[in-house]
Amino acid sequence: MNAEQALSADARDLKPGTVASALESCGCFVIRNAVPSEALTRITERVEQGYADLETAHQQGTLSESAKRRNYGYGILRPFEDDLICSDGRPLRDNIQDIVRTGLLKDVMRAYLGPEVTLLLEACHVRKQGPGQVGRPVPLHQDASVMRMPAGRLLNFWVPLVDGAGSEAPGLEFYPKSLDTIVQCERKPAGDGIKQRMYSNFEIDETSVQAAVGETQLWSPVLNRGDVLCLDGWSIHRTAFKPTMQRTRFDFEMRFCRTKDLVPEMPGETQSVKLDEWAA
């Protein structure tokens, strides 16, 4: 049985425990058709407008130095820091959180993380990847390393806002192997150019990756609007990008950890949530 057969399933009749077990054993699971397409329409419209506004500000020279570095350079919108208002008058972050406040994704969180979780606001954002982007594609890394989390459980819901992420547009690829530690390796020194500086502090070299995953093969599933990729914090992953991909991909990412696993070294603000009290 290949990864697509073993580690992906339609949301209909899918049990949260099935996803939690896959995360424990392989660090990943793809839930097909987890989010109704219409629920993503308002989010997608605001995301596209957000990037258009970012490009306009860059062309006009009105971006702050912080926005140039943290937003434009990395192709990231930060709706949990900035008030990006949607067509319904509500912030984009609220529309995004609605996706996970009820239903299967909330139950997956409970099954894998328990009833008390923390939203890692620093790592909840919208990302753009595609031809002509300023920064390079995100290299091999672990979320636990980025978030400086030495132990515990972290869960990333990765939600594409386009069809064909991984075929016509950049997607995500990863090793379906359960790990329980940050892969230790010599990090690459930052280069002179912006693309060389990006991600060098947590990039994992290929030799260290192979030592960690053994014979496990890289999996690059094709993801469409409505699909949700679930990744644990130890999963080694990167942007799936090929020069032949001519379409831009937008996605949003929400990362949670068990509240009991929080440590002072973790960057950014957080929001604690009791799942039994969290509703849309």
pLDDT digits (tens, 9 = 90+) for 2-36: 888 889 999 999 999 999 999 999 999 999 999 99
Residues 223-280 pLDDT 10s: 999 999 999 999 999 999 998 999 999 999 999 999 999 999 999 999 999 999 887 5
> For residue 251, what pLDDT is reported?
98
Find the length of the chain.
Answer: 280
Residue 38 vs residue 181, higher pLDDT: 181
User: Computed from CA positions of residues 153, 235, 266, 50, in that sequence, does the dihedral angle turn out positive or negative?
Assistant: negative
Q: Compute the distance between CA of residue 146 and CA of residue 96 in angstroms, rounded to an integer.
A: 22
Q: How many other CB atoms are found less than 10 A from the CB of residue 4?
A: 11
Q: How many CB atoms lie within 10 A of CB 92?
A: 24
Round to whole Å and give the CA distance between 238 and 243: 15
Residue 92 pLDDT greater than 70, yes or no? yes
* Residue 232: predicted pLDDT: 97
- Phi and psi, residue 55, nearest 5°: -65, -40
Q: Model confidence over 110-150: pLDDT tens digits?
A: 999 999 999 999 999 999 999 878 778 899 999 999 999 99
- Which of the 8 DSSP states describes residue 56? H
Q: What is the pTM of this model?
A: 0.94
Q: Give the Cα separation of 191 and 170 in Å (integer).
A: 24
Instruction: Tell me whether strands 8-10 and 28-32 are parallel, antiparallel or unpaired.
Output: parallel
User: What is the predicted pLDDT for the residue at 62?
Assistant: 96
pLDDT band at 198 (very low <50, low <70, confident <90, very high): low
CB 266 within 8 Å of CB 150: no
Angle at CA 199, nearest 5°, toward 242 and 249?
40
> How far is residue 261 CA from its own chain's centroid?
19
Residue 194's pLDDT is: 47
* Residue 38's pLDDT band (cuts 50, 70, 90): confident
| Mean predicted lDDT score pLDDT of the chain | 92
162-166 own/partner pairs: CB under 8 Å, 24+ apart: 162/224, 162/225, 162/247, 162/248, 162/249, 162/250, 163/224, 163/225, 164/222, 164/224, 164/247, 165/222, 165/223, 165/224, 165/249, 165/251, 166/220, 166/221, 166/222, 166/223, 166/240
How large is the average pLDDT for residues 63-89? 92
- Percentage of residues in the chain having pLDDT higher than 70: 95
∠ Cα 136 140 141 (to 5°): 110
